[in-house]
Amino acid sequence: MKQQQAEVMSISLKCPYGQPHSSIPNRNKEVVERVTVFVMDANDEKPEFKNMPTLIDVLETTESGSSIYKVEAVDKDTGSGGSVTYFLQNPQSTLFAMDRNSGVLRIKYGEMLDCEKTKTHFVTVIAKDSGGHFNGKEQFMSSSATLTINVIDAQDTPPSFIGTPYFGYVDEISVPRDFEMNRQRSEVCLLFVSPGDDGVFSINETSGCITLLTLPIYLKREIFNIKVKATEVSPEGRLVDYGVTTVVIRVVDLNNITFYGENGPQNMFELTMNEHPPEGEILRRLKITVNDSDQGANAKFNLRLIGPGRMLRVVPQTGLNEAQVTILVEDSAAMDYEKHHFLTYKLLAAEIDTPERFSATADVVIHLLDTNDNAPKFSSEYYIARIPENSPGGCNVVSVMATDPDSGPWGDVKYSMYGSGADL
């Protein structure tokens, strides 16, 4: 029963008067008595939320301690079992506080909402009764629901650029090109604060793209320092606040590193030579020139060989505008025909002082010729043979084997004997 009430029950009581007699009619009378029975309530119902779960919007500038919502829950039980109090789950980790008796949710004193940090908060509210008896035991019952709080942004922060500092690179002869900038909010307009661009750049006020204006463009300066201003626009169209940043656009030369042979530009150089040349020998038949037509620091480059081991080295190791390349033998022993019939290297020229580090490569292929640089070698250091003393002439005694890794006639092996008993 959810409220205390009385139920009336009729009980019939039969009370006979004496024993039946043949001459006296048998008469019985009934006595009716009303009995009131009280049914006591038990704590068997959970509190039920009337306005949860729900979603509310709260402006981020709402003052600390302000009431933002009132939770309401009803428990059908009576007495303490129907008395509801309210709590927050994990109250230490939230910006909010709950009045346990009224169900009013507030922003904690000393706390402020910030849309830029957190746009949405999920707050779990617990409604709990004050307990009551159920099946002879004390029982507490509760329910929970989630309140979603959307923090509404307010114009309390000036525009700020993200991803700074900004650097852009364009070629000295360029086609129209966009340079994308990031800004914090969409409701801003962007414009140049100071020209500083020789009139060759423009900016899109809403997207933040900086664009080269005409085609072709011959950019004579190496560095452009452009001030960009981001102005916040209020919903009423007023210019509210602004931020300023610098965009550095560097003009870079094109990758003009080129390799030249005796007859003009060339990307492969080949040479045939004997194996094991003397160390320090110059490979004079390789005529290689490296040229970079850029200007200033952009024309400075490093040279190095990329390939197997350190058999060869290149000089000079650094060039400016142009370098005559000389390749020398570094490790003669490693230049072995029996190990490598040919050697393939990459001659790398890479810029030193430019952010792009432009580079170019040319193939250098060395074909090795075999020389008679190996002695025959027996398959065993010694051989042992046993023959009867009466063996006839012409019978086989033992077979010996020697090999020479050189090619052609230098690899053919002939055998001869000398020493005590060799005449037998």
Q: Residue 19's pLDDT is what?
A: 52
148 lies in the same domain as 181 = no
Range of the domain at 22: 6-38
148 lies in the same domain as 197 = no
31 lies in the same domain as 126 = no
The CA-based angle 131-135-136, given to 5 degrees, is 75
| pTM (two decimals) | 0.43
Residues 4-40: tens digit of each pLDDT: 443 444 444 455 555 555 555 555 567 777 888 877 7
68 lies in the same domain as 139 = yes
- Tell me how far apart the alpha carbons of residues 199 and 176 are, in angstroms, rounded to a whole number: 13
Does residue 156 surpass a pLDDT of 70? no
Decide if 32 is inside a domain.
yes
CATH of the domain at 190: 2.60.40.60
Decide if 173 is inside a domain.
yes
352 lies in the same domain as 383 = no
Flag the least confident range among 39-48, 251-260, 278-287: 251-260
Residues 50-65: tens digit of each pLDDT: 999 999 999 998 999 9
Helix/strand/coil for 271? strand
261 lies in the same domain as 341 = yes
412 lies in the same domain as 391 = yes
Whether the CB-CB separation of 127 and 49 falls below 8 Å is answered with yes
- Tell me how far apart the alpha carbons of residues 131 and 84 are, in angstroms, rounded to a whole number: 10
Decide if 10 is inside a domain.
yes
Decide if 386 is inside a domain.
yes
Last residue of a domain, one of 216, 235, 252: 252
Neighbours of 327 (CB within 10 A): 22
Decide if 1 is inside a domain.
no
Q: Residue 169's pLDDT is what?
A: 66
332 lies in the same domain as 247 = no
Last residue of a domain, one of 325, 354, 369: 369
Last residue of a domain, one of 229, 252, 275: 252
The encoded tokens of residue 414 equal 């002939």
Q: Residue 87's pLDDT is what?
A: 94
Flag the least confident range among 10-14, 174-178, 227-231: 10-14
Does residue 272 surpass a pLDDT of 80? yes
Flag the least confident range among 247-251, 335-339, 389-393: 247-251
Decide if 160 is inside a domain.
no
291 lies in the same domain as 340 = yes
Does residue 140 surpass a pLDDT of 50? yes
Does residue 177 surpass a pLDDT of 80? no
Q: Residue 9's pLDDT is what?
A: 45
Whether the CB-CB separation of 372 and 275 falls below 8 Å is answered with no
Q: What is the percentage of the chain residues whose pLDDT exceeds 70? A: 81
102 lies in the same domain as 189 = no
Residue with the two structure tokens 């509801």: 84
215 lies in the same domain as 299 = no
Q: Residue 185's pLDDT is what?
A: 44
**How many domains does the structure of the chain reveal?**
5
Decide if 138 is inside a domain.
yes
29-to-9, 25, 43, 356 alpha-carbon distances in Å:
19, 13, 45, 120
Flag the least confident range among 34-48, 318-332, 356-370: 34-48
171 lies in the same domain as 241 = yes
